[in-house]
Chain A
Amino acid sequence: MNSAALVVIAILTLAAALATATLQKLMHAALCFAVALVGVAAFFLLLGAEFVGLVLVFVYIGAVAVLIVFTILLTRRDIGKDRGFNWGGVLVAVAVFCGLTWSILKTQSLSSVAPHIRVLTVKRIGEALMTSYVWPLQCIGLLLTAALIGALILVMEERG
């Protein structure tokens, strides 16, 4: 693993995420969210989980980010009103970050170096999905269908 690439990706990801949380314009924040997800996908590639990284790009940037942009455009009328920021939330977020970092740094067994592993091919993932994980896979399929139908029913116009 290349540590220079790691630092660059980490800075890019966290800067984009911070911009998402603080930018005033909703559309800019949504685009920064897409950049932050590209950074997370780059982390996955760096860690040797190429398939998951590509799935993240396809699902999040191809579907979720586009869906968010569509929703912003559909609900555009009240953008630019309330600019308030809840400072209690900032306090909670900083406290959570400090607590997590403290406990990560206190744990000694986490400072290990990555072992050499066999490359995770798509074939192995597919075999695992079709053997040990076949029931979770079916449940996910059912959940996605139900969520799709539920979302359609929620946004359907009431007639009559």
Chain B
Amino acid sequence: MTPTLQIFLIVSAALFSIGLLAALGRRHAIFILIGIEMMLAAANLNFIAFWRFGQHPQPPTGVMIALFAIAIAAAEAAVGLALVIAVYRHYRTTNVDQLDRLKG
């Protein structure tokens, strides 16, 4: 059996759902960031799989988009973790349920 595109897409969907589970289910701010990173990695896997199984334009578009997405994810992680540290300094907690000062 040779692997088809479907297998990669299903693995990617599973990875995305697990990332969503981590982002929505946990109450720790760092877990939410980890979940978002995992969802971005799943999207990159989709880009690479579609590039590999599709027609081939001269600039390899899927690979380029995956590279740019990795760079943006790195910037997002840096800013997000800085925000976590700043919030921890103010409130002495990283539990997102306790950060409810703006709640009406």
- A36: chain B residues within 8 A (beta carbon): 15, 38, 41
User: Within the assembled complex, what's the spacing in Å between the Cα atoms of A84 and B75?
Assistant: 29
With A71-B85, A154-B83 given, is the CB distance from A89 to B73 under 8 Å? no
Q: Give the A-B contact count at a CB cut-off of 8 A.
A: 243
User: Within the assembled complex, what's the spacing in Å between the Cα atoms of A13 and B79?
Assistant: 26
User: Within the assembled complex, what's the spacing in Å between the Cα atoms of A3 and B6?
Assistant: 13
User: Within the assembled complex, what's the spacing in Å between the Cα atoms of A120 and B17?
Assistant: 30
Taking CB atoms and an 8 Å cut-off, the chain B residues in 53-98 that contact chain A are 53, 56, 59-60, 63-64, 66-68, 70-79, 81-86, 88, 92-95, 97
A104 touches B13 (CB 8 A): yes
Taking CB atoms and an 8 Å cut-off, the chain B residues in 28-50 that contact chain A are 28, 30-31, 33-35, 37-38, 41-42, 44-45, 48-49
Taking CB atoms and an 8 Å cut-off, the chain B residues in 1-38 that contact chain A are 1-11, 13-28, 30-31, 33-35, 37-38
- B41: chain A residues within 8 A (beta carbon): 36-37, 40, 56, 60
The contact size tier of chain B is 35 or more
User: Within the assembled complex, what's the spacing in Å between the Cα atoms of A3 and B25?
Assistant: 33
- One of A10, A70, A111, A128 near B59 (C-beta < 8 A): A128
User: Within the assembled complex, what's the spacing in Å between the Cα atoms of A143 and B79?
Assistant: 11
B48 touches A52 (CB 8 A): yes
User: Within the assembled complex, what's the spacing in Å between the Cα atoms of A10 and B83?
Assistant: 33
User: Within the assembled complex, what's the spacing in Å between the Cα atoms of A114 and B3?
Assistant: 8
User: Within the assembled complex, what's the spacing in Å between the Cα atoms of A1 and B8?
Assistant: 12
